[in-house]
Amino acid sequence: MNKILMSGNHTAAEAAIRAGCRAYFGYPITPQNELGEYMAEHMRKIGGAFIQSESELAAINMVVGAAAAGVRAMTSSSSPGISLKQEGLSFLSGFELPAVIVNIMRGGPGMGNIAPAQGDYFQATRGGGHGDYRTPVIAPGSIQEIADMTFLAFDIADRYRTPVMLLADGMMGQIKEPVIFPDFIDPQTLPKKEWALTGRGGKESRYLASLILDSNKMEQHNWNLFKKYEAITANETRYESYHTEDADVIVVAYGTTARIAKGAINQLREEEGLSVGLIRPITLWPFPSEILYTLAKDVKKFIALEMSTGQMVEDVRLALDGRAQTLFYGRPGGIIPEPDEFAHVIRDAVKS
Amino acid sequence: MLKTILCSGSGGQGTLTMGNVLANAAMQEGFFVSYLPCYGAAMRGGTAHCTTSISSEEIASPVVSFPDVLIALNKPSVTAFLPRMRPGSTLIYNEDLISDVPAKENVRIYPIAANQLARDAANERSANMVMLAAMVKVTSLLSLEALQRSAQDLMGSKKSLFAMTLNALQAGYADIV
């Protein structure tokens, strides 16, 4: 197909439909409303289910139901709404149900505002819901990547029977860039889900539960989940490496801030000849710790740039394990930092 | 090649449409583009601006500190964004709504009677398209035809709007000699 100019929100919706998603449930909230709007128009055209639910809680539990029935299902929201969905995320993990949850982050805590922020990193990567689970979190860095990563999110969800979160922010939701979509997937051609509750017929009974009162069985369930998380860490960790070959200082940033950091890095390399590079985590969980640890053999200074007061920086510090210095600069509350501002911070880091 | 264009005006003047038509045109011409609209609790009469980046290479930051071109549709836009104009940049402003633009060293400044031109050619509400066409002529960034194709793509289904847009683009392009 041709390249078209599309916003991040519309792109996530179109990509989901193309990836075989046939059930979308959501409740409106800025800055992700265009996603639900697009689904309202297009989902039914292709024979899928679109419901604007009465609340975020209803939406995520509808996702649980649709996923249990074996359908590729999605919900989306922005920060305060994602908080309301956390119980559902924990249940999806306990049930081992595949689903995709999109969080187009805004300023917080509380109702916050409607401007872009990255304050939900902890919530996304550390759980948010209760229990010993992990959620794969994918942070796209462009509109094309939103399209590609939406496909990837559904694939990881199905392959490992886990909810997957697509984490972006209001800026990624609103900007428009050219996108070429992958081809439509016919849901009928996807691998059969032998565990899905599709009606017993003449088959063996199937049963999905997250209530496991027998502690020995619950422990085994936890270890089974753990093995799955180990496999996801081994197979699904993704990052982009940008000018790291000759770098004296390496920036670590994801999503919007990574894009702005690239602008700053280009400026510093071209105008001032500074050797600075970027590692852009594409998966936030699993975090690309190994590459950071490897790079820290030669690079002694890393700087985490975020639209928060400092959340991902903790993963950077854990990854470096004392091998290199970790610096931080952030703008919380819905302020979008500028390339020139980042250039200033990175320049200081190089020269200090 | 990287050109960044900041369009700014009052809500309802078609500021975001300007940036969108421009980004779409540049994409169709084979450039990498990124279009960043400001958003918020915006309304008619509030302020609106957007940044369009056009490049021969992949675009790093959609956020721009110092635009190469500022298209100002109203006075507050000049006040807000003139301080960001660096030597070598270009300001195109709507002289029907903006008086006394302070001189700035090595910034090329083009006044356009956008409301008047739009009124004569089409409809006053198409002043944004007059400004956009004048900008591509001044900067040699894109052809008039590229803008027209983009407009057809985005608003071709609305016949009278599209006809007005074509006339306004033509008028703005012809105004720069």
Residue B25 has pLDDT above 90, yes or no: yes
Could you give the angle at the alpha carbon of A118 between the alpha carbons of A114 and A124, nearest 5°? 110
Q: For B83-101, what is the mean pLDDT?
A: 96
A257 three-state secondary structure: helix
Q: SS3 of A47, please?
A: coil
- Mean per-residue pLDDT for A174-197? 97
Give the count of beta carbons closer than 10 Å to the beta carbon of residue B37: 20
Dig out the tokens for A174 from the structure: 């609103």
> Both ends of chain B: CA-CA distance in Å?
25
Task: Tell me which of A32, A33, A175 to substitute to probe the interface with B (most B C-beta atoms closer than 10 Å).
Answer: A175
Q: A95 CB contacts (<8 Å, ≥6 apart)?
A: A64, A67, A68, A208, A209, A210
- Give the Cα separation of B171 and B177 in Å (integer): 12
pLDDT of residue A91: 98
What is the dihedral sign for C-alpha A175, A176, A180, A184?
A: positive
Work out the mean pLDDT of chain A and round it to a whole number. Answer: 97
**CATH class name, domain A240-351:** alpha beta
| Chain A residues whose beta carbon lies within 8 Å of the beta carbon of residue B36 | 171, 174-175
Q: What's the confidence (pLDDT) of residue A319?
A: 98
pLDDT confidence band for B100 (50 / 70 / 90): confident
Cis check: omega of the bond before A109, within 30 degrees of 0: yes
Nearest to A171 by CA among A252, A238, A278, A258: A258
Across the range A158-170, mean pLDDT stands at: 98
Q: How many domains does chain B have?
A: 1
Equal fold, A4-183+209-236 vs A240-351: yes
pLDDT of A238: 98
Q: Once rounded to an integer, what is the mean pLDDT over residues B87-107? A: 95
State yes or no: pLDDT of B43 exceeds 70: no
Residues whose CB is less than 8 angstroms from the CB of residue B71 and which lie 6 or more positions away in sequence, other chains included? B5, B6, B7, B8, B18, B92, B93, B131, B132, B135
Q: Which of A5, A170, A338 sits opposite B24 (nearest CB)?
A: A5
Among A31, A178, A259, beta carbon nearest to B62: A259
**For residue A1, what pLDDT is reported?**
65
The reply to whether residue B61 touches residue A336, judged by beta carbons under 8 angstroms, is no
So where are chain A's domains?
4-183+209-236, 240-351
Burial of A308 (0-12, 13-18, 19+ CB in 10 A): buried
Q: What is the CATH number of the domain that holds B48?
A: 3.40.920.10
pLDDT for A48-67, tens place per residue?
999 999 999 999 999 999 99
pLDDT of residue B45: 72
Q: What is the mean pLDDT of residues A154-171?
A: 98
Asked if B34 lies within 8 A of A175 by C-beta distance, the reply is yes
Q: Fold for domain A4-183+209-236?
A: Rossmann fold (3.40.50)
Q: What is the mean pLDDT of residues B132-138?
A: 98
Please give the mean pLDDT across all residues of chain B: 95
Tell me if B34 and A176 make a contact (CB, 8 A cut-off).
yes
Chain A nearest C-alpha distance from B177 (Å): 31
Give the per-residue pLDDT at A127.
84
Closest CA of chain A from B50, distance in Å: 10
Above 70 in pLDDT, residue B41? no
Alpha helices (runs of H) in B13-96, residue ranges in sequence order: 15-28, 75-81
Write out chain A residues lying below 8 Å of B20, CB-based.
5, 176
Q: State the pTM of this model.
A: 0.96
CA distance A91 to B144: 56
Give residue B35's domain range.
Answer: 2-175
Smallest Cα distance from B74 to chain A, Å: 24
Nearest Cα of chain B lies from the Cα of A4 at a distance, in angstroms, of 8
CB-CB contact of A68 with A23 (8 Å): no
- Number of other CB atoms surrounding residue B58 within 10 Å: 10
Q: What average pLDDT score do residues B108-137 get?
A: 97
Nearest-angstrom CA–CA distance, A291 and A192:
36
Confidence of residue B40 (pLDDT cuts 50, 70, 90): low
What's residue B46's pLDDT?
Answer: 79
| Secondary structure element (H or E) that encloses residue A177, with its range | strand A176-179
Q: In which band, very low, low, confident or very high, does the pLDDT at B153 lie, cut at 50, 70 and 90?
A: very high
Mean pLDDT throughout A265-290? 98
Q: Residue B24's closest chain A neighbor by CA?
A: A5
* Chain A neighbors of B66, CB-CB under 8 A: 340
